Structure 1
Amino acid sequence: MGAIESAAQAAAWLLAALTRELGLFAAIGLAVGGLDDLAVDGLWIGRSLWRRATVYRRHARMTMATLPPPEEPGAIAIFIGAWSESAVIGAMLRAALAGIRHGDYRIYVGTYPNDPETERAVLGVGDARIRRVGGVLPGPTTKAECLNRIWQSMLADERASGRRFKAIVLHDAEDVIHPHELDLYDRMIERFDLVQIPVLPLLANESRWAWTISATYADEFAESHQKSLVLREAVGAAVPSAGVGCAIQRAMMARIAEQGGGLPFSADSLTEDYELGLRVRAMGGRSAFIAMPVAPGKGLVAVRAHFPETIEAAVRQKTRWIIGIALAGWDRLRWDGGVTERWMRLRDRRAPIAALVLAVAYGALLLSIVCRIAGIRPDWPDALEPILTLTGALLVWRLAMRALFVTKAYGWREGLCAIPRVFIANIIEIAAAWRAVLHYVPGTTPIWDKTRHRFPERVGE
């Protein structure tokens, strides 16, 4: 009997100690991350108030209706990498051709020899403004390798025609291209080397569960593209390309290509779009994030697309992002730049650590419940109470900010739903970070681990 009691006491002590240590680690980690987010929020609020009190009192907000025409209108090339996209590429191209108002553009679609379905879908559109770019390597390679082939094809077209494109625009095979998008680029690329417009994920409707998963992307992009990218530009840090809805000045792309031996995209990168924005900044280029409405009270010129609707697909996609930005990005891009640039890169690369803190926090919460049920009282340190008070206040603030930005982008109902969706997003983030750490091998050449896409049945959905 004494042995059983001793074992029970030892187990209770171990449970209490584990709960205490995990709880303290999680509380400190959440406090540090929350204060980092609070600093970003404070700077964004200060900037917004300052611009409202100064700039917007003297000048009306620019819209597409009041945007001056370009000084020298030019041709625009749209790059689309397409591996296993036969389900969406045809509808996407037809919608783009029917909707784009700009009169001088060409769409380049990169395909693969072992993907004849996608090739047939592209050729089936049958429009002279579309140029299919085949390759020798079987797919999937990396998206960057595909984009490099498109770049070389574009150069060949320029040599044949004797006319250069003004800008290169990046898009994916599932994107809904806004009718005014190229008009916006044609004007703004004369002032900036890289222009990024907002990405507004479409909400799925087939089932409540699918809607919940895809809506987490809407929540994250709503906050990132209304606050984080705006602040990065304001503090002088690089504006990373989102990979879609991004235009790069032709001359700047050529400069980047010169550094890469004639190829502008890093073929061994999973996040060539993110790196592109940082390279533009490193070369002294000017980048801008532009959220411009079509007219007063109308919607923004933005990219819309369906994002993954299952946990498995979301985890795979975010694994690729974490590997490319947080893990490989650390190895490839290091910590160049000033204080604000390093701060933003730290925020970009904190995903694995943040996921660890979240996982520990959920574990500590579960163990605390077990302790309460078992009547075990962990010996909490005195310092824990003020830390928990701080993290609780920061959590309320973070949820309020998330709801605010989602409300601005999607309405108050989605803003309220964004609060419980944070839990779903956290679970996906934890799983993706774990998968990224297990799969990342420094120095290896990655492959295009892409997710299945769908295009809306009606553009404007």
Structure 2
Amino acid sequence: MGVALTLLSFDLWQWLALFQHELLLFAGVFFLIGAADDLAVDLVWIWLKLTGKADTPVIDRARMQREPLHGGAAIFIPAWDEAEVIGDTIRHALSSWPQKGLRLYIGCYRNDPASITAAMAAAGGDARLRIVIHDCAGPSTKADCLNRLYEAMCDDERRSGERFTMTVFHDAEDLVDPAGLALLDRAVCAGADFAQLPVEPLPQARSRWLGSHYCEEFAEAHGKAMVVRNALGAGLPAAGVGCAVSRGALERLCHQRADHRPFNAESLTEDYELGLAVAQAGGICQFVRARDQDGLLVATRAYFPSRLEEVIRQKTRWVHGIALQGWDRIGWGGSVIEMWMRGRDRRGPMTALVLLMGYTLLALTTLGWTAAAMGYGQPVALSPLLEWLLIANFIAFLWRAGFRFGFTAREYGPAEGLRAVLRIPITNIVAIMAGRRATFAYIKTLSGSAAVWDKTPHRSHPASLANARAGAQ
């Protein structure tokens, strides 16, 4: 009996070692493929910097804030259950953008009286604000709310006999940049059909390891990836905030749809699809980066979710809408560059799977070392191929960590840059959880489930916190 148990345990550890070996080979190859993909973008960005094609212009923020618009600007802000932040957003936007040529459209729902009341209270008698009440009970989807705002804008244009030059999109929690509207206006009037400002998540002292992890993601995405896409002429995915579409381009999108509305009401990531749709229709896209004399980036800022469930919910919506719905809805584009960039956008589910394998390997390796120390089995023998894969992946990790530190430190300082590197395991775990949840959510929609506005709650606005600190001094 003792011999049989020994043979059984021997076979168990041998099978475990074999499984670990094959998993290590599979994960190592796919990690390296992902690293090569990122390296290609890194090298293009380095070339752009060395040749001066990625230099960021310096502007006078105060002068840009006062610069008159070349035409009318309609600002769309959909708001469902945003009573805690919408008032601060409205007050800050109207004070930051004194131009007479803008009109702020706030999309509310008839069954959300708190948001309606907060928006009305923030008006302050400013005639540039219009509150639009959706004719259906909320929440529908953000895309559906934006369609209602588009109808309201068209009604105003018919009554006044004048058309807006551009439509600007923002979220209910955004802290707009005083120079942002003028920069977007310049880009559109210079011929851009779509223009996107950078997004800069704000660090959160109370959520250093979860809520602040968005800092490094957007620092790299909008400091490197979008710069590369812009230089290569690929379509630019809209962030949904701090972006503008020319009036003509928006109308062309409407003509392409049977319902003559700019957005598909069933889309979970209508913002991402917007920029790509403009490019696919032949429009010119431009990523607009600028800094003021103090080196501060002109960007849209906000506090991002800081609770695990809310972070997972938001990332799930992004993966579901971009990687899974996007595959069905907007295809792959025509050029090789466009296919490459859309493939990068849709790596979410595969990345989650490979990361899960990586952490499974970590657990198996720990178990194997423990078993070997106790006299059961032997550690996995590494072939020359596996050794090469591990070395290459380790070098790729160091390269990636260096870039993450550099881009984050440039915007937030070296302390936040260091935390960005230390947060890598957290961002990986979030990616795994969101990828799994998005896959199951997508399967549910295939069976007929309707898409809903699975938004994250916003509890504080940067402007209100800044005013509170100023009042305490």
Structure 2 length as normaliser, TM-score?
A: 0.92
1:280 lines up with 2:281 in the alignment = no
Q: What pairs with 1:299-378 in structure 2 (closer than 5 Å)? A: 299-375=296-372, 376-378=378-380
- 1:430 aligned to 429, 432, 454, which one? 432
- 1:242 aligned to 232, 239, 242, which one? 239
On the 8 A contact 2:203/2:215 being kept in 1, the answer is yes
On the 8 A contact 1:64/1:292 being kept in 2, the answer is no
On the 8 A contact 1:70/1:186 being kept in 2, the answer is no
* Separation in 1, partners of 2:136, 2:101: 31
Q: Which letter maps to 1:39?
A: A
On the 8 A contact 2:68/2:99 being kept in 1, the answer is no
On the 8 A contact 1:219/1:418 being kept in 2, the answer is yes
- In the TM superposition, residue 72 of structure 1 has moved relative to its aligned partner by 7.2
* Separation in 2, partners of 1:335, 1:158: 35
- 1:265 aligned to 251, 260, 263, which one? 263
How big is each residue's C-alpha offset from its partner over 1:72-96, in whole Å with a ceiling of 9 and x where there is no partner? Answer: 7211110011111111111111121
* Separation in 2, partners of 1:444, 1:166: 38
- In the TM superposition, residue 62 of structure 1 has moved relative to its aligned partner by 4.7
* Separation in 1, partners of 2:172, 2:80: 9
- In the TM superposition, residue 5 of structure 1 has moved relative to its aligned partner by 1.0
Q: Which letter maps to 1:448?
A: W
Secondary structure of the structure 2 residue equivalent to 1:138:
coil
Question: For residue 142 of structure 1, what is the aligned residue in structure 2?
Answer: 141
How big is each residue's C-alpha offset from its partner over 1:29-86, in whole Å with a ceiling of 9 and x where there is no partner? Answer: 111100110111001101110126xx97xxx935246979989721111001111111
On the 8 A contact 1:176/1:459 being kept in 2, the answer is no
- In the TM superposition, residue 334 of structure 1 has moved relative to its aligned partner by 1.2
1:117 lines up with 2:114 in the alignment = yes
On the 8 A contact 1:169/1:245 being kept in 2, the answer is yes
Secondary structure of the structure 1 residue equivalent to 2:189:
coil
Secondary structure of the structure 2 residue equivalent to 1:109:
strand
* Separation in 1, partners of 2:304, 2:415: 20
* Separation in 1, partners of 2:346, 2:71: 37
Secondary structure of the structure 1 residue equivalent to 2:167:
strand
* Separation in 2, partners of 1:103, 1:187: 16
Secondary structure of the structure 2 residue equivalent to 1:224:
helix
Question: For residue 375 of structure 2, what is the aligned residue in structure 1?
Answer: none
Question: For residue 42 of structure 1, what is the aligned residue in structure 2?
Answer: 43
* Separation in 1, partners of 2:177, 2:69: 22
The worse-fitting range, judged by mean Cα deviation, of 37-46 and 100-109 is 100-109
1:451 lines up with 2:448 in the alignment = no
Two-structure CA RMSD over aligned residues (Å): 1.9
* Separation in 2, partners of 1:363, 1:224: 28
Secondary structure of the structure 2 residue equivalent to 1:168:
strand
Tell me: CA distance 1:297–1:123, structure 2 relative to 1, closer, same or farther (3 Å).
Answer: closer
How big is each residue's C-alpha offset from its partner over 1:355-412, in whole Å with a ceiling of 9 and x where there is no partner? Answer: 1111101110111111111113224333101111111100000000010100111111
Q: What pairs with 1:59-138 in structure 2 (closer than 5 Å)? A: 61-64=57-60, 73-126=70-123, 127-138=126-137
Secondary structure of the structure 1 residue equivalent to 2:183:
helix
Give aligned pairs, total.
452
* Separation in 1, partners of 2:354, 2:394: 15
What percentage of residue pairs aligned between the two structures are identical?
42
On the 8 A contact 2:196/2:243 being kept in 1, the answer is yes
The worse-fitting range, judged by mean Cα deviation, of 1-10 and 36-45 is 1-10
- 1:386 aligned to 385, 388, 391, which one? 388
* Separation in 2, partners of 1:226, 1:396: 19
How big is each residue's C-alpha offset from its partner over 1:288-329, in whole Å with a ceiling of 9 and x where there is no partner? Answer: 1111123x3331221000001011111100000000000010
Secondary structure of the structure 2 residue equivalent to 1:86:
coil
1:194 lines up with 2:191 in the alignment = no
